[in-house]
Amino acid sequence: MKDRVRELVGRLRRVDRGLGVGGAVLKARLRGHPVMLSHLVTGRCDACCATCLWRDPGGPELDMLEAAWLYREAAAMGITQLVAWGGEPLLRADLPELLGTAKDAGLAVVLITNGWLLPERWPELAGNVDALILSLDDVGEAHDRLRGLPGLFARLDEFASDLRHGSPRPRLLVNTVLSSLNRGALRRVAPIAQRWGAGLYFCPMETGQMRASGFTPLNDDISLRPAELRDAARLVRILKRAGFPLMATDRYLDLLERDPALTGYSCRAPRAILTVQADGTVRDCLRRDVPLADATAIRARGGHLSEVFGSPRYRQMLEDAGTCTACNNPDVLETSWLWDLEFQMLGRAGRLLLG
């Protein structure tokens, strides 16, 4: 009886959180502004993953004053959440102060990290992180090889185990990138995520980027083939039925099985998410080599970030994105469905965004 009551309470909390996030999305739609700020706080990284398209070790980064301005401007426009990533964000010595400014501005903070530096840095970060996403592409030495960091899995395992008994404890999630380098990894990672008390989601590796000249393939030789992606979707269903904490929605899995190229959606992600690069430029997801704007330049002349949303380039990006299906990760697709306020996504909403 107690287990049934606990399960019911959990469901009610998820529905309540989902409705809260749905309300935040509705307000964002009415304002015509995104609900989430995605900030690549650095392009530097201590790992060397073959699937990564984001490493840029020599690029400039926003300083504290510039980042604080960005977060205040975002909050003033009604953005509710910051996703801080990279590169490896923990390489920034000022990351605790950086995330603290976001919290002071009223933003919920999600931190994505490979976790190598977490054992040393978590005490100074803990109070400013609402959700922590750990990258985990396999277990044991297999994960270490994929990341180029011997001993990484052991460090993550010890940290995550200690985190279960710590306070304050953020919402813990695990992300697994699927490629030909880690076939079948979800079957191995799922028990680890369960032991850590973490939700588990996966992303087929990105196979390229949209640029001004069109789609540019990158590392496609190590991506999974269509039949393998279908198999991955079926495996996820099996693991979910077995009680493992897989977070992929049935709708995403249905599409992955039916159409592994994932072309059956209308992209709304740039409406919901504003992405700012490490150097302060605002990313055009359809022309990643031609930024939409420069946040540092806007700040320097006394302007406001909101002027980005009135620019012809921004409006053109939103229009063009509706027919683009270059992205294959579930966050883009499920955020698009949430932006369209599809009722079935409300149960998932609290996992996509923090209410």
pLDDT tens, residue by residue, 293-302: 999 999 999 9
Q: Do residues 130 and 173 lie in contact, with contact meaning Cβ atoms separated by under 8 Å?
A: no
Full residue range of the structural domain in which residue 162 is found = 26-352
Q: Is residue 13 part of a domain?
A: no
User: Which string of b and e fits 326-339 if b means at least 16 CB within 10 Å?
Assistant: bbbbbbbbbbbbbb
Q: Could you say which DSSP state residue 255 is in?
A: H
Which domain CATH number covers 218?
Answer: 3.20.20.70
Work out the burial of residue 240: count CB atoms within 10 Å of its CB; fewer than 13 is exposed, 13-18 middle, 19 or more buried.
Answer: middle
User: Can you name the residues that pair with 113 across neighbouring β-strands?
Assistant: 134
Question: Would you say residue 26 has pLDDT above 50?
Answer: yes
Predicted local confidence at residue 56, as pLDDT: 83
> What separation in angstroms does the CA of 304 have from each of 76, 116, 309?
10, 36, 10
Predicted local confidence at residue 1, as pLDDT: 52
Where do we find the tokens 């979707």?
233
Residue of higher predicted confidence among 1 and 148 = 148
Calpha distance 170→246 (Å, rounded) = 18
pLDDT, mean over the chain:
91
Q: Is residue 1 part of a domain?
A: no
Question: Would you say residue 93 has pLDDT above 50?
Answer: yes
pLDDT digits (tens, 9 = 90+) for 169-206: 899 999 999 999 999 999 999 999 999 999 999 999 99
Question: Would you say residue 7 has pLDDT above 60?
Answer: no
Q: Which H or E element spans position 8?
A: helix 2-31
Least confident of 16-20, 78-82, 121-125, 277-281: 16-20
Question: Would you say residue 14 has pLDDT above 90?
Answer: no
Predicted local confidence at residue 5, as pLDDT: 41
Q: Is residue 5 part of a domain?
A: no
Calpha distance 53→329 (Å, rounded) = 14
Q: Is residue 283 part of a domain?
A: yes
Least confident of 3-17, 188-202, 221-235: 3-17
Neighbour tally for 57: CB within 10 Å: 11
Predicted local confidence at residue 350, as pLDDT: 53
Calpha distance 25→279 (Å, rounded) = 28
Work out the burial of residue 208: count CB atoms within 10 Å of its CB; fewer than 13 is exposed, 13-18 middle, 19 or more buried.
Answer: middle
Domain count along the chain: 1
Q: Is residue 144 part of a domain?
A: yes
Question: Would you say residue 313 has pLDDT above 60?
Answer: yes
Q: Do residues 46 and 90 lie in contact, with contact meaning Cβ atoms separated by under 8 Å?
A: no
Q: Is residue 271 part of a domain?
A: yes
Predicted local confidence at residue 134, as pLDDT: 98
Question: Would you say residue 260 has pLDDT above 90?
Answer: yes
Residue in 297, 316, 115, 300 with CA at minimum distance from that of residue 212? 316
Angle, helices 330-339/250-258, rounded to nearest 10 degrees? 120
> What separation in angstroms does the CA of 291 have from each of 84, 296, 348?
19, 13, 31
Token code pair at residue 14: 């998820």
Predicted local confidence at residue 351, as pLDDT: 54
Q: Is residue 67 part of a domain?
A: yes
Over range 310-334, report the average pLDDT: 94
Q: Is residue 19 part of a domain?
A: no
Q: Which H or E element spans position 112?
A: strand 108-113
Predicted local confidence at residue 54, as pLDDT: 81
User: What is the widest separation between alpha-carbon atoms in the chain?
Assistant: 63
Q: Could you say which DSSP state residue 223 is in?
A: S
